[in-house]
Structure 1
Amino acid sequence: MTGKEEISSKYDDYSLKEVPKDSRYGFFNVFLVFSSVYGAIAVIWAGGALGYGLTFSQAIIAVLSGTVVLGILGSLTAAVGAYSGLSTYVMWRHPLGRWGGKIAGLLLITITTGIGWYAVETWLFGIVMSEIFPNNPFFSVGVAAIWGGILMTIMTYVGYRMLSFLSYFTIPFHIWLIAIGIAIVLALKGGFHTVMAAVPTSHMSLLDGISATIGLYSAGTIISPDISRFAKSAKDAGYAWFAHIIFLYPFLILGGVAIVLATGSYLITNAMLELGMGVGVLLIIVFGQFIINTDNLYSGSLSLVNLIPMRREIASVINGVIGTAIAAYVGFSAGSSITPFENFISLLGDFLPAMGGIVLADFYIVKKYVNKIQDPHKRYEFVPNNKYYNINIAGILALALGSIIGYFVNAGIPAINSLVTGFLSYIIIYYIIKAMGKSPEILPFNYEGGILR
């Protein structure tokens, strides 16, 4: 299709075109949105999962190691979003090709953000509700996941403006929540010595802990352009990501570790109740779940629009219905078991970083040094009368290799293996094909301007 077939509405949020300069925001707004949509309940839950299998000293090593990787990867990826002004999935048409980007986006929303992560967060919402109001059928895990998912879908309908509005309330709540939890642990459980001496209930290797730390945030890192495309500059976007990941992520996740280790509780929500933190504090967690799941569904809607032209808000409803159904099924079948969550974040850490490595390799290395495009604003721009390509062989092969290495190779850290393999293999394959006098991009088509389908 051509750019003349534009589908727009006041809630479309420039889903298939560059965000105009007059619709962009500065560092503080982007920082708050990043912190709100990615620094919510799942991070605290992940801390609980680490505290179930690692000592506190091991958790510190795992979290700080993962934070450094996520900070660097996310800053560079967020900067790409600001340079291009494009959503993650439209942007992927460069390193993967038009149809490669569509297929990868479909896989991402199916397994992770738009449906997978959304389903996990909606299921966690059901767990929190069941802990706050036990023995009440309306607040059972499966039922609460259904009505909670409906409310989250309605919020996503509005788009970035809703994320921006909610961000101003969410961050203080989460910082206050964990700060109070840690203070109570230190006061009632024997101080910091008790946390350091606590033995986890289960066992997790340090490498698995690092991979899980990266895996938890890998999806958010890769889709950061969905938010950073609204940044006024690449510097604002990169700094906003790095600031939120460095200052907020370790605090929230290690706070969850400390609380679980000190109480010995399997679930972070149970641990908070055991500490006497009360229903009001858990309701703050629920509020955080709403905003992070709004972002999950928002990103998924952008991917679905990239796959099948439709209004973005309609795409959010479709993803929301599917994700809510999955969350309800898990809620009715698994109840409050944390096993699905542990398995899910481990899976993310195994294969998602490969896509991040490919984007960085294409934008910062191939486009600059092989294709000789020095201006970063022009590397991922869509302009009239240019030729674009349906398939990028180098990107498809690199994604397959990175995913396979991340999933099947147990030596080292799977997330790092996946990232490095995707990054290096893309550069090598692209360069070899070019050196042979061929083009990695095949099946060109003309872009007539406006928006690209």
Structure 2
Amino acid sequence: MSEKGSQGNFENAFSAVPDSQRKSLLSLTVVLAGYPIALSNFVIGGAVGVGMTFSKALLTLLVGNGVLMAIVLATGYMAYKTGLSTSFLSRRAFGKKGSSIFSILLAISSVTWISLNGDIFARLIKSTFSWWTLPISITAILCIALWTQSAIRGYKGLEIISFLGVPAALIMSIVGVIAVGRATGGFGDVFNYVPVNPISFTAATSSIIGGWVFGATITPDVCRFAKSTRDLVIGSIVAFTIGCLGLQFAGALVAISTGNGDFTLAMAALGLSLIAFIASIFCLWTTQDNNIYGASLAIQNILEETHLKGKVQHKHIALAIAGLAAIFAAFGIFNYILPIIQFLSLLIPPVSGLIIGEEFFIKNSKENKNVNKIALVSWLIAGIASYISLKADIFVPPIVGIVTSCLSYIILSKIFEEKDKNVQDISSERISV
């Protein structure tokens, strides 16, 4: 098998993406935008919009998405420079075997999100079309099977669906905004809106950042295909402006105009139920195939340290992940999964802080070590800090986790790595004497 064919079968899971396979700015931007173009962002925007005045909602959206873009740019730059996926980047902090723990959690998180969205969309189909006779369990399996078609084809599959999904989401957003302008009261009512049940800036910002910080954490899987720093910066900013900020802003306008933060009911109030349903098909597809793709790369990171390295192709792992998600969805995981997602939301974001701390401050990659205990301890500290933040309702738990993990890693590395270096120097002096 040729080198190019091998890389295609395994999606460059074990090595850097070569220059010959880097993508154009247009391709990079569309695929990056396809991931955050999700119904959840429209819903998050609606929740923020209905709970705040227009000016405060706009400020909150800008601040929240600014934080997300900063995470994407920082981790995306490392992926572009090294050509490595999120899971393999984590080796630089955790070590070869240590990174497997993160990869396992990443795969579990992806499976839960895929199955959850399969369950939710199946329920939406069932409630929207009275003639739909298939049970929710079978419908969920069919939905996940559809999303898998692009995921098993790697980056090329993501690209094809993103070129369909991104315009669909933009059309839905634009039509929604136009409908708001044409509604009774128009934009005047939006600008003068006073929420009945206001929410705080902290709570609103937390929902924006917390709702998509997992997605921002694994964007290196796509950013590694960038050709230049310029393409990375432009692509990331444009993609998240469209996918996160754009959809959330449209959701906020629709919610304020109708006084309803529920996506389905708000769009129905504007007479846009059919448009919303069609667009939601692509919104879910472009997000969930990315989840399948990222989970496959995470599993390859685990297999790299076993005899199965290079023996299991990307498409086979993607099918296994989708199959597992389909089983969970068929058994109604919607009723049990929320505590799992909340738990994972506290542990996965801090990994970005560890990677950033290693790459920009410590600069002593641990990828050749088996386990870096400093990273594991820093991760544990960050997880505890995130949990305290969540329970005490202080600031944004994922951001608390990222900052805590980064600072803990830098401080502990400076202390113990310097100590180890001094011990080695003393030993060397004794030997020379």
Work out whether the TM-score is over 0.5. yes
Structure 2 counterparts to residues 26-425 of structure 1, below 5 A: 26-51=24-49, 53-110=51-108, 112=109, 114-134=110-130, 136-138=132-134, 141-198=136-193, 204-265=199-260, 267-308=262-303, 309=308, 310-330=312-332, 333=335, 350-367=346-363, 371=364, 388-409=368-389, 410=392, 411-425=394-408
Deviation at 1:351, TM superposition (A): 4.1
Verify the 8 A CA contact 1:215 1:347 in the aligned structure 2. Answer: no
Which deviates more, 124-133 or 314-323? 124-133
Deviation at 1:300, TM superposition (A): 0.5
Verify the 8 A CA contact 2:116 2:333 in the aligned structure 1. Answer: no
- For each residue in 1:114-170, what CA deviation from the matched residue of structure 2 results, as whole angstroms up to 9, or x when unmatched? 2122223323322432343146332x6544222101221233111110111222222
Deviation at 1:103, TM superposition (A): 0.6
Deviation at 1:46, TM superposition (A): 2.1
3-state DSSP of counterpart to 1:137: coil
Distance 2:291 2:344 in 1: 14
Distance 2:238 2:256 in 1: 28
Verify the 8 A CA contact 2:105 2:344 in the aligned structure 1. Answer: no
Verify the 8 A CA contact 1:46 1:216 in the aligned structure 2. Answer: yes
Deviation at 1:247, TM superposition (A): 4.7
Check 1:153–1:276 CA distance in 2 against 1; reply closer, same or farther (3 A cut): same
Distance 2:188 2:133 in 1: 41
Per the normalisation by structure 1, the TM-score is 0.82
3-state DSSP of counterpart to 1:99: coil
In the alignment of these two chains, the number of paired residues is 408
Deviation at 1:242, TM superposition (A): 2.1
- For each residue in 1:221-272, what CA deviation from the matched residue of structure 2 results, as whole angstroms up to 9, or x when unmatched? 1111110111112332233112222354222102112212332445312321
Deviation at 1:9, TM superposition (A): 7.3
Check 1:344–1:238 CA distance in 2 against 1; reply closer, same or farther (3 A cut): farther
Runs of 5+ consecutive residues of structure 1 not aligned to the other structure:
1-6, 335-339, 372-378, 381-386, 440-453
Verify the 8 A CA contact 1:211 1:346 in the aligned structure 2. Answer: no
Deviation at 1:328, TM superposition (A): 3.5
Letter matched to residue 404 of structure 2: T
> Which structure carries more helix by proportion?
2
Letter matched to residue 315 of structure 2: E
Check 1:164–1:300 CA distance in 2 against 1; reply closer, same or farther (3 A cut): same
Verify the 8 A CA contact 1:115 1:297 in the aligned structure 2. Answer: yes
Letter matched to residue 313 of structure 2: R
Distance 1:123 1:289 in 2: 12
Deviation at 1:332, TM superposition (A): 7.0
Deviation at 1:206, TM superposition (A): 2.3
Distance 1:234 1:208 in 2: 34
Verify the 8 A CA contact 1:216 1:349 in the aligned structure 2. Answer: no
Runs of 5+ consecutive residues of structure 2 not aligned to the other structure:
423-433
Deviation at 1:64, TM superposition (A): 1.3
Deviation at 1:307, TM superposition (A): 1.5
3-state DSSP of counterpart to 2:166: helix
Verify the 8 A CA contact 1:76 1:238 in the aligned structure 2. Answer: no
Check 1:194–1:105 CA distance in 2 against 1; reply closer, same or farther (3 A cut): same
Distance 2:281 2:132 in 1: 17
Distance 2:47 2:201 in 1: 13
Distance 1:199 1:405 in 2: 35
Verify the 8 A CA contact 1:95 1:395 in the aligned structure 2. Answer: yes
Residue of structure 2 equivalent to 1:13: 11
Deviation at 1:54, TM superposition (A): 4.3
Deviation at 1:413, TM superposition (A): 2.5
Verify the 8 A CA contact 1:123 1:331 in the aligned structure 2. Answer: yes
Which deviates more, 237-246 or 144-153? 237-246
Verify the 8 A CA contact 2:34 2:243 in the aligned structure 1. Answer: no
Distance 2:373 2:199 in 1: 38
Check 1:201–1:156 CA distance in 2 against 1; reply closer, same or farther (3 A cut): farther
Letter matched to residue 211 of structure 2: L
3-state DSSP of counterpart to 2:368: strand
Per the normalisation by structure 2, the TM-score is 0.86
Deviation at 1:297, TM superposition (A): 0.6
Which deviates more, 97-106 or 232-241? 232-241
Deviation at 1:407, TM superposition (A): 1.9
Residue of structure 2 equivalent to 1:23: 21
Check 1:205–1:344 CA distance in 2 against 1; reply closer, same or farther (3 A cut): farther
Distance 1:420 1:267 in 2: 33
Check 1:210–1:194 CA distance in 2 against 1; reply closer, same or farther (3 A cut): same
Residue of structure 2 equivalent to 1:428: 411
3-state DSSP of counterpart to 1:18: coil
Which deviates more, 294-303 or 238-247? 238-247
Verify the 8 A CA contact 2:173 2:250 in the aligned structure 1. Answer: yes
Check 1:331–1:98 CA distance in 2 against 1; reply closer, same or farther (3 A cut): closer
Check 1:89–1:22 CA distance in 2 against 1; reply closer, same or farther (3 A cut): same
3-state DSSP of counterpart to 1:107: helix
3-state DSSP of counterpart to 1:98: coil
- For each residue in 1:386-439, what CA deviation from the matched residue of structure 2 results, as whole angstroms up to 9, or x when unmatched? x81111122111111112111212322323211211111110011100121259
Check 1:257–1:349 CA distance in 2 against 1; reply closer, same or farther (3 A cut): farther
Distance 1:400 1:421 in 2: 10
